[in-house]
Structure 1
Amino acid sequence: MDEEAAERKSDPVRVHEFPLPGSWGIRLYLLDESANPTGSLKHRMARALFRHAIRCGRIGRNTLVIEATGGNAAVSQAYFARLLDLPFVAVMPRKSSPEKIERIERHGGAVRLVHPPLAIYDEAEKLAGEYGGHYMDYLANGARAVAASGGDDDIGRVLFERLALEGAPAPAWVVMGAGSGTTATMIGRYIRRHGLDTRLAVVDPENSAYFPGWVMESGEYTTGMPSRIEGIGRPRIEPSFDIAVVDLVVPVPDAASLAAMRFLYETTGLHGGGSTGTNLWGAFLMVAKMRREGRRGAVATLICDDGDLYRDTYYSDAWLQKKNFDLAPNLERLREFIATGELAR
């Protein structure tokens, strides 16, 4: 058995179906990327980045690997660096939470804290130059690395192959949030490469550049503000995002994202984070759209990471109150949606 076949056989990721009313004739599938060893969909991209950098000669024995982020991308890269016995440093904003730092250190990574937050990118480049290391820069290089690696690093291939194994039809819509833009781009390219009758909707949280950039038909747009939904939403449109493979971009209020995340847990017991909630709200919008159009079929999206990572934030009522989030109105909208099939933006 070759390496790729062995990985596919041992891959823990599974597809779940959200319980929509059977009379609608629409099925909603969720690929659970939280089951990856590092608990998020960034696991595949980290593997692709290491494979690509090694093949290109940018990483060798004892090379210091550096990344500029404090999120799931750094956790996954720390994991692979440890497997390869390589030193790893995550350059993070000084105000990063102790929980984020602990997750990286748990996998053997080190942390460099800097201020202001946007200085992390210059600091990562500086470290790489000083120590002869390699700055991964997943925001710029993620899509290129995944395209070069292919196989189970390509989330588009994984999604459609897993749906086929479940006996599901090719979905009418795939819904995906964008952080670096790599995941959405790979799904969109897979759809077009295989000539599928599937459309890609990108969902965008508050303060992010992707929706306004889409409206203005611009590949360059900045908001200057951070997203409150970890893992997605960027103040600029990142180089890994290919707007040409996207059919629709939908803004999702942050309170709606968190309500959908809670609704998923209450309804199914599946424990996703805030970006999963953004995906799910967008998927519900596409289901409602299909019902208005009298269409049957399927919609697919992802559980992006493990909700347990957010037990002290998104799943904490005290934290939500402190941040002035009121989820009740949107939770009621979701309950009405399941009863009526109607959900407006």
Structure 2
Amino acid sequence: MRRFARTLAAVALAATVVAGTAGWASGTGQRAVTGPPPGSASWRADGALGRQLPDPGSAAPDDVALFFAGLGDRERQLLLERHPSVVGNLDGTPLELRYRANALALRASPDPRLIRLGAPGRQILAFDPRGRGQVAEVFGDLRTARHVSVVVPGSDIDAGTFDRRNDVYGTPAGMAKSLYAETGPGSAVIAWAGYTTPVGLGLDAATGGLAEAGARRLTRFAAGLAADGLPSPVVFCHSYGSVVCGLAAPGLGATDLVVLGSPGMRADDVAGLRTGARVWAAKDDTDWIDDVPHVRVAGLGHGPDPAGAAFGARRVPAEDAKGHTGYFAPGTDSLRAFAAIAEGGSR
């Protein structure tokens, strides 16, 4: 009984510190954004092409890709103009159409925080304004890339904080941009903030509800990349994002899964992830995540430390990284190792 009480106390401590970025305050409960893209009802009802459009709620990305492959340029442009929010977020749609559709949707957005996302030259692969907003941005030429990486962030990330100026390397845009700059020609990096993240402290950060919803969205996003003919990705998962990746692992089709500053992946070890990907883990000595009790009891906590020897992941050097959000900082050993993994090396 005494041992059980100590375990519960550890889980209570985990609930107070398992958040995705530094600088949080008290937590607030979040409702996950799920389901098909906004505007799907009018898309389903549209008969402008004289044929039924694929249902955004049920059509597999492969079927979406096949549908668009059968359209001419004029038909594609018509759908883009009539339904930019669907075309921009429907996995399996050719990425060139998604860029154009999301640029159109962002220009029409009344939210002043999002003006910068619609700036010329930015390649926005997803933009869902619902809830706190979800965004995916591409760095590099995704169509011609031989190596593709996806960065999945942790807590306190949304459309408004996607590329904030402070704590740059704790943002998905900052992490992805730094990784892209470190890799050579032929690589592209996607910053994927495509799920509802926890805000601050609280049960959301210590439980798996938002991660489960995020894992479904991440799996479908990866299937959309494959349907568009893109290479299998390397997926980098920061903090609570590693919980998302742990749940998504069996369906990601990733070549490598890299977790950093992880509170746990909801698996006991690498075998429990049920993935053929190589699994890597990084944790620096100054990261406060090291103080989190890696336990899982009654749905609280996320399980063993992926950077621990017993988990079985390959260890990424991180001696130069500082704190919870320093892994992608230029000049660090962790960033150099990430770039090598992203380019298919470090075997």
Same-fold call, TM > 0.5? no
More helix by share: 1
TM-score (norm 2): 0.34
TM-score normalised by structure 1 residue count: 0.34
